[in-house]
């Protein structure tokens, strides 16, 4: 028996050693200074600390830090400090070692990064998952000190996503949702495009497994056709660039399953109508004697001599790079068989930055004096963190505003070019230039024409900000801006202003209560809150200070009244707001109050959705029906709210309330009906409307509640509000309506 145990142990040790050897090999293949000794020391320390611990998959725990370290060096390109931090990232959280121990053995820098990673761990893969929004705030605070903390955390999340299959469904939904909501946007903003794409794709795989498999099959079935088309399309380009004397690589870039699904969903089109699945990437080594930017345009000229470009689909991120450091020239050209194909032209340096993001950006930053987009962004984070939102969810929302924002370029009156988020307004631009300009902004001139604060800017606009010393920010300004920087500045100002107004309001209430010989205590404030239907005492003071409440009610409110015992107990009970109990009045027992424990939902089990609708409600924000991919959210009353996987509200809940997310499964028997909308497009022809109605009402006996139809230049467009039992009914209807020769598309309108 002991021999068998020793054999297992030696096999595990062999597996661990092989993975460590692979890590060292990855490191030796980089250009970093070779510090194998400290990496080996960190590995031996972590291996001993985690000895005997297993992951949920059954493998030794040390395999996870090793995998994270390999991602850090091989896929991101960081050096020995980051590798050691990755190897040690779970030691302080999961063992008895402290940050001081790490500092004594490995120095202050590694200890600082490990400390940062420990603070934001939150036990995502254990039962200690804390409020993830608060976790996010800690993560951003730590990132502002050393950006390597967040890069290693993203690598940690990538490995966890790659091994998510061993987790129960509820945890998969929570972790996938959090990844989609927080980590993918962060990876994007740090320029880690390949990792961002993989995180999105893996999240989608676990949230919509059946759709993922279906699209993966369609991609596989079309692979041979794509290969033939790629060879035909790339051959003349390859020959032309060789003739020009360039050293280069051509790469086919295939759209991910997630990107395909997102395009299908947003445009309501089938897989067959997603024409940009294939793109071509050109990565060239610049010649000596001319700038990379000029050579990109030379290759562009050669390409467009072979294939005609689409005039509105040229993206020049060579002249003005994206804020996350991305540089490339994108052009869409008409290829063989009338297919549009996107071609991305990059130098070797540009490609390295595009693949490895912030790490590669700093690698190439030699002697630059001008602040890069990434440097500016990190500076902006520190600005936002000076006055963070008190509510962690609001903070996360504010921060996320500029994570995924596309950029436009606008000019100052003097001709200086400024980068700002797509959708930014004149007021956003004022705050971008200076906070004081924002606070006193009364309007702007765009291209010499007067516009309001809420005017949305376009690329190429020249913007002059108009100010007045008397102007002050107003609460509605939050609706006039879209950038995180402007929102945080406005909220910061309003918060200070409101604090002063609330202080005066509190003094006024105190004065009135003292005149009635009453104290400003919790009991009296609760009575005032109930009377004015206000939840928060601060809001009560603020509204009092703004003179929007009728304070003449207060003396009447505190006049002595005779109350029966039942009313008093109800009031007291209502104030307790106890989530785990419900109140029942037993009328047979002379109205005696009873506390009946609410039936708790088992978070570990899959919740079954039956026809009797017991214990759950369908969310009104996304209207799920049987057949949709769904999840459950357990509210304070232990009712399971059912959301579609792709619902934006569910995305927030997964990221902020992960412990309440549970898996859910339909078990319906076509007893209930749900209202859905299908959109039908086709060629307008006499009788087409009647034919569609015939399919809907006769073939499937489906009831119609509302119809909107119209024609425009021979095109028919109809929206039919129908009652169905499940998604299968919709698919059958779509299939049969498409059999009508004039109909070109039928799609479900997601509400």
**Across 425-431, average pLDDT:** 93
Task: Kindly state whether residues 154 and 231 are assigned to the same domain.
Answer: no
Residue 537: per-residue pLDDT: 83
User: Do both 234 and 107 map to the same domain?
Assistant: no
Backbone angles phi, psi at 743, to 5 degrees: -85, 130
> In terms of residue numbers, what domain contains 227?
216-364
Q: What are the catalytic residues?
A: 93-94
pLDDT at 560: 64
Residue 374 lies in a domain: no
Distance CA 379, CA 377 (A): 5
The answer as to whether 578 is a domain residue is: no
Same domain (yes/no): 272, 346: yes
pLDDT per residue as tens digits for the range 533-548: 887 788 888 888 888 7
Is residue 126 located within the same domain as residue 30?
yes
Residue with the larger pLDDT of the pair 468 and 403:
468
Of the candidates 507, 514, 511, 513, which has an alpha carbon nearest to the alpha carbon of residue 526?
Answer: 513
* Lowest-pLDDT choice from 201-210, 478-487, 561-570, 665-674: 561-570
490 domain residue, yes or no: no
Q: Nearest-CA neighbor of 203 among 176, 182, 170?
A: 176
pTM of the complete model? 0.68
Residue 707 lies in a domain: yes
pLDDT of residue 127: 37
| 358 in the same domain as 222 | yes
**Which is higher by pLDDT, 73 or 556?**
73
Q: Are residues 137 and 233 in the same domain?
A: no
Q: Is the pLDDT confidence value at 487 over 80?
A: yes
Are residues 157 and 220 part of one domain? no
CATH of the domain at 225: 3.30.460.10
Per-residue tokens: 338: 């009338």
Q: How many domains is the chain partitioned into structurally? A: 3
Is 196 within the bounds of a domain? no
Residue bearing tokens 């009728």: 550
Q: How far is CA 673 from CA 617, 668, 676, 722, 729, in A?
A: 15, 11, 10, 9, 11
Q: What is the mean pLDDT of residues 393-404?
A: 55
Which range is least confidently modeled, 170-174, 509-513, 548-552, 565-569?
A: 565-569
Model confidence at 192: pLDDT above 80 = yes
Confidence of residue 578 (pLDDT cuts 50, 70, 90): very low
Close Cβ partners of 303 (under 8 Å, ≥ 6 residues apart): 237, 240, 282, 309, 331, 333, 343, 345
Highest mean pLDDT among 50-54, 105-109, 602-606, 744-748: 105-109
For residues 394-410, average pLDDT: 61
Q: What is the mean pLDDT of the chain?
A: 81
625 within a domain of the structure (yes/no): no
pLDDT for the residue numbered 385:
54
pLDDT exceeds cutoff 50 at 250: yes
> Comparing 114 with 377, which gets the higher pLDDT?
114
Mean of pLDDT values over 577-586: 40
158 and 51 housed in the same domain? yes
Closest CA to 117 of 104, 102, 127: 102
Domain end (from 333, 364, 395): 364
| Same domain flag for 21 and 162 | yes
Residue 562 DSSP code: -
674 vs 357, which has greater pLDDT?
A: 674
The more confident residue out of 398 and 157 is 157
Query: Does 355 lie in the same domain as 228?
Result: yes
Q: Are 664 and 630 in contact (CB under 8 A)?
A: yes
Give me the helix-helix angle, 2-28 and 63-70, nearest 10°: 10
Contacts of 742 (CB under 8 A, 6+ apart): 682, 683, 684, 685, 688, 716
Please report the pLDDT score of residue 99 as a whole number: 87
Proportion of the chain above pLDDT 90, given as a percent: 25
Domain boundary among 364, 398, 430: 364
- Split at pLDDT 50, 70, 90, the class of 589 is very low
Residue range 451-464: mean pLDDT, rounded? 88
The span from the CA of 137 to the CA of 242, in Å, is 51
154 lies in the same domain as 222: no
Q: How many residues are present in the chain?
A: 751
Q: Kindly state whether residue 535 falls inside one of the protein's structural domains.
A: no
Q: 340-347 and 278-285: which strand pairing? A: parallel
Residues 124, 222: one domain? no
What percent of the chain has pLDDT above 70? 82
Residue 690 lies in a domain: yes
Q: What is the pLDDT of residue 364?
A: 52
CA 424/CA 240 separation, integer angstroms:
42
What is the 8-class DSSP label of residue 477? Answer: G
Q: Is the pLDDT of residue 329 over 90?
A: yes
Q: Looking at residues 31-55, what average pLDDT do you find?
A: 89
8 A C-beta contact, residue 511 and residue 545:
no
Tell me the per-residue pLDDT of 78-105, one tens digit each, with 9 for 90 and over. 888 999 999 998 888 888 888 899 999 9
Q: Which residues of 74-91 are buried (b: 16+ CB within 10 A; e: fewer)?
A: bbbbbbbbbbbbbbbbbb
Residue ending a domain, among 306, 329, 364, is 364
| 500 pLDDT tier (thresholds 50, 70, 90) | confident
Mean of pLDDT values over 128-133: 44
pLDDT of residue 394: 55
**pLDDT value at residue 669:** 79
Check: CB of residue 418 under 8 Å from CB of residue 437: no
**What is the CATH number for 129?**
1.10.3210.10
Query: What local confidence, expressed as pLDDT, does residue 373 receive?
Result: 56
The single residue listed with the structure tokens 């290969």 is 227
| pLDDT 10s digits, 331-376 | 999 988 888 899 999 999 888 888 777 666 555 544 444 455 555 6
């Amino acid at each position: 028996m002991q021999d068998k145990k020793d054999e297992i142990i030696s096999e595990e040790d062999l597996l661990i050693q092989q993975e460590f050897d692979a890590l060292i090999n990855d490191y030796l293949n980089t250009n970093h200074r070779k510090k194998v000794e400290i990496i080996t020391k960190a590995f031996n320390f972590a291996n001993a600390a985690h000895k005997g611990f297993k992951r949920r998959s059954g493998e030794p725990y040390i395999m996870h830090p090793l995998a994270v370290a390999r991602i850090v060096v091989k896929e991101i390109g960081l050096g020995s400090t980051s590798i050691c931090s990755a190897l040690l990232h779970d030691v302080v959280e999961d063992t008895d070692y402290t940050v001081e121990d790490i500092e004594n053995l490995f120095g202050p820098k590694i200890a600082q990064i490990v400390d940062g990673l420990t603070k934001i761990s939150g036990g995502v893969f254990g039962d200690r998952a804390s409020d993830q929004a608060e976790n996010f705030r800690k993560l951003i605070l730590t990132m502002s000190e050393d950006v390597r903390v967040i890069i290693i955390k993203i690598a940690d999340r990538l490995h966890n996503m790659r091994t998510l299959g061993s987790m129960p469904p509820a945890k998969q939904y929570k972790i996938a949702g959090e990844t989609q909501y927080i980590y993918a946007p962060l990876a994007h903003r740090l320029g880690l495009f390949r990792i961002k794409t993989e995180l999105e794709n893996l999240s989608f795989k676990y949230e919509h497994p059946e759709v993922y498999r279906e699209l993966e099959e369609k991609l596989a079935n079309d692979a041979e056709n794509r290969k033939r088309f790629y060879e035909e399309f790339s051959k003349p380009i390859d020959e032309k660039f060789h003739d020009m004397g360039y050293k280069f690589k051509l790469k086919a870039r295939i759209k991910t399953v997630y990107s395909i699904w997102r395009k299908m969903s947003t445009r309501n089109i089938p897989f067959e109508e997603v024409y940009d699945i294939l793109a071509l990437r050109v990565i060239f080594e610049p010649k000596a004697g001319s700038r990379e930017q000029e050579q990109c345009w030379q290759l562009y000229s050669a390409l467009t001599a072979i294939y005609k470009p689409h005039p509105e689909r040229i993206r020049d991120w060579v002249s003005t790079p994206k804020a996350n450091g991305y540089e490339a020239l994108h052009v869409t050209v008409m290829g063989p068989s009338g297919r549009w194909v996107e071609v991305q032209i990059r130098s070797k340096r540009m490609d390295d930055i595009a693949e490895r993001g912030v790490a590669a950006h700093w690698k190439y930053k030699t002697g630059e004096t001008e602040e890069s987009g990434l440097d500016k962004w990190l500076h902006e984070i520190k600005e936002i963190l000076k006055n963070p939102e008190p509510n962690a969810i609001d903070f996360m929302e504010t921060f996320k505003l500029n994570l995924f924002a596309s950029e436009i370029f606008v000019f100052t009156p003097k001709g200086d070019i400024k980068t700002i988020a797509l959708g930014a307004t004149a007021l956003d631009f004022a705050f971008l230039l200076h906070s004081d300009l924002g606070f006193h902004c009364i309007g702007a001139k765009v291209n010499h024409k007067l516009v309001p604060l809420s005017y949305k800017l376009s690329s190429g606009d020249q913007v002059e900000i108009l100010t007045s010393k008397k102007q002050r920010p107003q609460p509605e300004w939050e609706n006039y801006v879209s950038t995180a920087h402007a929102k945080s500045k406005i909220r910061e100002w309003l918060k200070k202003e409101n604090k002063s107004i609330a202080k005066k309001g509190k003094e006024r209430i105190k004065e009135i209560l003292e005149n009635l010989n009453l104290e400003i205590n919790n009991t009296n404030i609760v009575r005032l809150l109930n009377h004015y239907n206000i939840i928060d005492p601060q809001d009560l003071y603020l509204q009092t200070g703004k003179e929007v409440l009728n304070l003449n009610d207060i003396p009447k409110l505190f006049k002595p009244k005779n109350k029966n015992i039942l009313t008093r107990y109800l009031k007291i009970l209502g104030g307790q707001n106890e989530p785990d109990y419900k109140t029942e009045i037993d009328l047979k027992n002379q109205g005696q109050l009873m506390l009946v424990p609410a039936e708790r939902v088992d978070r570990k089990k899959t919740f079954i959705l039956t026809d009797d609708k017991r214990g759950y409600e369908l969310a009104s924000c996304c209207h799920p029906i049987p057949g949709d991919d769904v999840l459950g959210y357990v509210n304070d009353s232990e009712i399971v709210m059912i959301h579609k996987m792709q619902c934006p509200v569910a995305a927030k809940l997964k990221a902020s309330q992960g412990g309440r997310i549970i898996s859910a499964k339909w078990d319906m028997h076509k007893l209930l009906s749900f209202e859905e909308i299908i959109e039908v497009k086709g060629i307008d022809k006499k009788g087409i409307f009647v034919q569609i109605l015939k399919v809907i009402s006769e073939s499937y006996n489906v009831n119609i509640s509302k119809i909107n139809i119209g024609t425009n230049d021979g095109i028919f467009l109809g929206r039919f509000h129908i009652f169905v039992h499940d998604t299968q009914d919709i698919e059958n209807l779509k299939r049969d309506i498409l059999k009508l020769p004039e109909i070109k598309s039928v799609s479900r309108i997601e509400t």
